Each structure stands twice: as C-alpha cells, then as structure tokens.
C-alpha cells in the first residue's frame, strides 16, 4: 500500500510546516532535560480592524480589573464537575421562544437577513441541512447551545472548556499572551481565545472562527465574528456565560446573550470520547435535506454491531 504521509506534508500550509520544524528542533533539548519555552505572541500583537470593537471592550474590562488577577492553583475558582446546557434552550439566545426565531433586538445586515429568510422559507418546505450531519464540529459560538456534557479544566495559565459532542475543546489562554499574529493565523473551529481573571470571573476575547450558523433555523455568521465573554459560577450548581457577539458582516449591532450550564448530578456520569462517524446514519438527500438511513435500508450502520461493519471478527479467537 502506498505511503501518503509525505504527500500529505507536501500539501500542508507553510506555517504548519514551520511549526512542525520548530517542535522537531526543540526535541533534542527537551530529551536532554533542558528547559524549553515556546515564545508566545505579545499581548498587544496587532489584529485586524474588524475585531477592534470587541477588542476595545475587552481592554476596557481588563483595565477595570487592574490588569486582571494572576491566580495560582491555590486560589483558582473551583469549576470541577460535569455540566450540561440541558434541553431548556435550543436557540442561540435563551430569550427566544419555540416560535420566536429571532429576538426583536437582533438586527441582521441586509445580506444576512436575506440569507436567513431564505433558510426559514426552505425549512417550511421541509428542506433543512445541518453540517453536523457530516459529523463536523458544532464550532464556536454554536457550541453554546448543544445539549451535551461539559467539563472545565482550570489551570493558572489556561482554561480548557470541553464539550462531549465531537470531543470539542476550547483553550482559553490566561498566561498574558496575545492573539496569533495575522501572518500565522487562520479560521479555527473553536477560534483563538485569550482571557484574564477578574476575581472569580473569566473574561475572554475570541476571534478567528470558521463561518457557520448559530444553530439550526438560526442566522449565519461570518469568519469576522468576535466575542467577549464573562464566565463565572453564580451558585454551586450553575455556571453563567455572559456573551456579546460582534460580526461586521452579519450583525448591524452586537448581539448579547446569557447562557447557563447546570451541574449534572447523575451518579457516575463522565465525558467519553465521541466518535460520530462510526455509527453516523445521517445523510444529505436529493433535496439537500438532513435525512436518516433507517434500519434495513442500504448503508445503515447498526450501532450494536459496529465491529462487524468494520471487518473485525471478535469471535475469531
């Protein structure tokens, strides 16, 4: 069988190859027991103009927090446990009701309003495509609304926010670094997030997301979207995320939402690796609609017998 590894590297972006080379050069020193430190972007590393409105809000919040607190392990907020957005909110904005597709205070640009109205008209005709059907990540900021398990890993230099769905992980850096320089940056599923602590509140600035939709039957957003979040535990069983969204292509003015995540008290619950594609029975049909392959139909993957479909015979021994 041909080895495609070199071919894959040949098609990689130059910045990715440079990063791989840098890591390779650092390996001998690390192996010899020498301390190595990868230089991070300065906090004032320039970012594009379309992120400046949210960036200025973020800087103002940091100034009010006297530059932010530098927590050690002893005084970090305790966000341990498993959390869930729950089935209470399926829209991006919890203020939306089941028959209220968009709050009155949300104003879309003409282009994105037309896109949204076409989407709603298609849904009424039974045509609705969701990229999650291909086992793609929800991505940020859509992932706020997904009703699966969450977990926070809180360290002095960064916070990991883990979403069980598609095993998505957001990394929020709190070590004083800035955003990735523009000549090295590209859109990411979870964006580029940096933050600081204002007491027990984590303040986060996120940029460079992949364009997507806020949720099914919700408006789309562009890759120029940025957000400022204020995340804190408001009681022992509730973590609140106060989010403001800017998108110069999709929104006339910022969209403010407040989401909450609730402690899961079911015994022995834990987050598992999510492998969607191995039993994915969702396809795009001839009308462009998300549809399901049912048991007995060609191509159906039986979730109880995945090993047989993969050609593995567990009875061989």
> Whole domain around residue 157: which residue ranges?
49-263
Count structural domains, the chain.
3
Residue 22, domain member (yes or no): yes
Residue 73, domain member (yes or no): yes
β pairing state of 212-213 and 290-292: unpaired
Do residues 90 and 15 both lie within one domain? no
Q: Which residue has the tokens 């047989």?
A: 308
Weakest-pLDDT range from 52-66, 91-105, 223-237? 91-105
Do residues 69 and 148 both lie within one domain? yes
Residue 260 pLDDT more than 80? Answer: yes
pLDDT tens per residue, range 85-119: 866 557 888 888 766 778 878 999 999 999 999 99
Buried b (16+ CB within 10 A) or exposed e, 281-311: beeeeeeebbbeeeeeeeeeeeeeeeeeeee
Helices (H), 71-179: 110-124
What pLDDT score does 278 carry?
A: 66
Do residues 95 and 144 both lie within one domain? yes
Do residues 171 and 110 both lie within one domain? yes
Q: What is the pTM of this model?
A: 0.80
Residue 270, domain member (yes or no): no
More confident residue, 217 or 100: 217
Residue 313, domain member (yes or no): no
Residue 13 pLDDT more than 80? Answer: no
Do residues 32 and 96 both lie within one domain? no
Do residues 32 and 64 both lie within one domain? no
Q: Mean pLDDT over residues 15-35, rounded?
A: 51
Do residues 168 and 29 both lie within one domain? no
Do residues 80 and 202 both lie within one domain? yes
pLDDT tens per residue, range 116-163: 999 999 989 888 878 777 788 889 999 888 888 999 999 999 999 999
| Among 76, 77, 98, 94, residue whose Cα is nearest residue 85 | 94
């Amino acid at each position: 069988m041909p080895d495609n590894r070199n071919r894959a590297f040949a098609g990689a972006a130059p910045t990715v190859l440079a990063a791989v080379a840098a890591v390779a050069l650092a390996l001998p020193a690390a192996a010899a027991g020498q301390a190595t430190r990868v230089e991070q972007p300065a906090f004032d590393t320039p970012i594009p103009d379309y992120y400046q409105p949210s960036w200025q809000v973020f800087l103002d919040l940091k100034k009010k927090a006297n530059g932010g607190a530098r927590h050690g392990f002893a005084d970090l907020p305790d966000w341990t446990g498993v959390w869930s957005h729950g089935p209470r909110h399926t829209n991006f904005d919890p203020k939306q009701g089941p028959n209220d597709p968009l709050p009155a205070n949300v104003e879309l640009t003409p282009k994105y309003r037309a896109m949204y109205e076409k989407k709603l008209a298609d849904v009424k005709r039974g045509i609705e495509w969701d990229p999650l059907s291909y086992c793609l990540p929800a991505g940020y900021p859509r992932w706020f609304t997904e009703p699966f398990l969450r977990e926070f890993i809180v360290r002095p230099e960064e916070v990991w926010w883990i979403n069980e769905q598609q095993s998505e992980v957001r990394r929020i850096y709190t070590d004083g670094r800035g955003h990735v320089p523009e000549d090295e940056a590209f859109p990411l599923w979870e964006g580029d997030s940096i933050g600081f602590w204002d007491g027990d509140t984590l303040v986060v600035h996120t940029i460079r997301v992949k364009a997507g939709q806020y949720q099914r039957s919700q408006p789309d957003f562009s890759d120029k979207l940025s957000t400022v979040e204020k995340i804190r535990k408001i009681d022992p069983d509730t973590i609140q995320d106060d989010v403001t969204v800017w998108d110069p292509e999709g929104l006339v003015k910022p969209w403010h939402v407040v989401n909450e995540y609730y402690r899961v008290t079911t015994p022995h619950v834990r987050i598992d690796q999510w492998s969607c594609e191995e039993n994915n029975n969702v396809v795009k049909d001839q009308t462009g609609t998300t549809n399901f392959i049912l048991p007995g139909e060609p191509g159906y993957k039986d979730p109880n017998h995945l090993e047989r479909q993969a050609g593995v015979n567990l009875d061989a021994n």
